[in-house]
Amino acid sequence: MKALLVLEDGTVFKGSSFGAAGERAGEVVFNTSMAGYQEILTDPSYKGQIVTMTYPLIGNYGVNSEDVESAKPYVEAFVVRECSRLASSWRCEKSLGEYLKENNIVGIEGIDTRALTRHIRLAGAMKAVISTEDLDEKNLTAKAKASPGLIGRDLVQGVTFEKIHQWNDKGKYNVVVVDTGVKYNILRQLALHDCKVTIVPAMTGAEQIFALGPDGILLSNGPGDPEGVPYVVETVKELLGKIPIFGICFGHQMLGLALGGKTFKLKFGHHGGNHPVKDLKTGKVHITVQNHGFCVDIDSLNKEDIEITHINLNDNTLEGIRHKKLPIFSVQFHPEASPGPHDARYLFTEFIKMMEQDCA
């Protein structure tokens, strides 16, 4: 079945459908990971985005029920150079194409993903439409232009859990996760570090959170513009200085806003499993997983209170902060992921130590 990918600037890519039929709109971004496509598809942070994989062959080890980061895929659509029809893995339960059809995700293959990636790098991430129904290029260009962007938009409401619930029921430390689109592996890492994990919806107020008796708060990853969820930022402001806080990705951005900083949209974002980040304290460089289109402005933070801990070596953007007086720190990258493979896992240990000191 024929399919078209049309950008808001009128650029057209012709290909074939390999997922569900239909039409989807979203911001086109590219991901440089060579593997992990199932984790990417189910990362709630991709809500509102059409993901293009730069590695040319995707789907060669299929899909299984264990390597998911949420209950379902959240990408708006999926773009690859070639979708493998053969899946070679003892853990494989179904093909990538079958998985996309089951979850009503539109996929397109056979396009020049290198050309698309280069276009995004030069022109910036932009809105687009993928369709197997309407193949009129002018119509699709108009639809792309008219589709909602990410700036100022609240996408968290579409990914957060609806009710407060327990991830596990045992652990030395009681950690409350403010869910703005949390990945399962963050929850798994907390459990492995002897934490009893309670997940609360993004709309939960500080009073409700304190009523759960937490030893620490984790601000999770999530989709879109952090300035689009001012209600979460206000909750974080009420938590500051009262309890240890660890922020990851979107949580890092919300913490930055709560501490008086500002955020801005990156030209084409950071998406992939090979981003070098320097720990300024140790001098070590970690290979990190990243998935964000917005960033905290380093110059907007009060350096008397806030220490810069990590820097992205590709573009020198902010990757980590720590408060000099309060038990608060955060990182822009994903320490629960494994590109290094375990370069950044020490951050969970630091969170544990911070809670130990606070409880002493």
Question: The CATH number of the domain where 289 resides is what?
Answer: 3.40.50.880
Whole-angstrom Cα distance, residue 346 to residue 185? 15
Tokens of 259: 């501490």
Catalytic residue among 119, 249, 252, 292: 249
Show Cβ contacts of residue 272 under 8 Å, excluding neighbours closer than 6 positions.
31, 32, 33, 54, 289, 290
CATH at 118: 3.50.30.20
Q: Are 108 and 75 members of one domain?
A: yes
Q: Are 87 and 182 members of one domain?
A: no
Q: Give the pLDDT of residue 358.
A: 80
Spatial strand order of the sheet with 285-296 comes to 165-166, 195-201, 173-179, 216-219, 245-248, 328-331, 318-323, 306-312, 263-279, 285-296
Q: Give the pLDDT of residue 337.
A: 79
Look at residues 114, 125, 115, 99 and name the one whose alpha carbon lies nearest to residue 19: 99
Radius of gyration of the chain (CA): 20
Q: Are 161 and 112 members of one domain?
A: no
Q: Are 245 and 346 members of one domain?
A: yes
Low-confidence ranges of the chain (pLDDT < 70): 338-341, 343, 360
Its domain, for residue 112, covers 2-146
Show Cβ contacts of residue 173 under 8 Å, excluding neighbours closer than 6 positions.
193, 194, 195, 196, 215, 216, 352, 355
Show Cβ contacts of residue 239 under 8 Å, excluding neighbours closer than 6 positions.
206, 209, 217, 245
Q: Is 151 a member of any domain?
A: no
User: Catalytic residue at 193?
Assistant: no
Tokens of 285: 């460089």
Q: Are 173 and 236 members of one domain?
A: yes
| Domain final residue pick, 113, 146, 179 | 146
Q: Give the pLDDT of residue 131.
A: 97
Tokens of 308: 């810069």
Domain count, the chain: 2
Q: Is 39 a member of any domain?
A: yes
Q: Give the pLDDT of residue 344.
A: 74
Q: Are 206 and 130 members of one domain?
A: no
User: Catalytic residue at 334?
Assistant: yes
Q: Give the pLDDT of residue 65.
A: 93
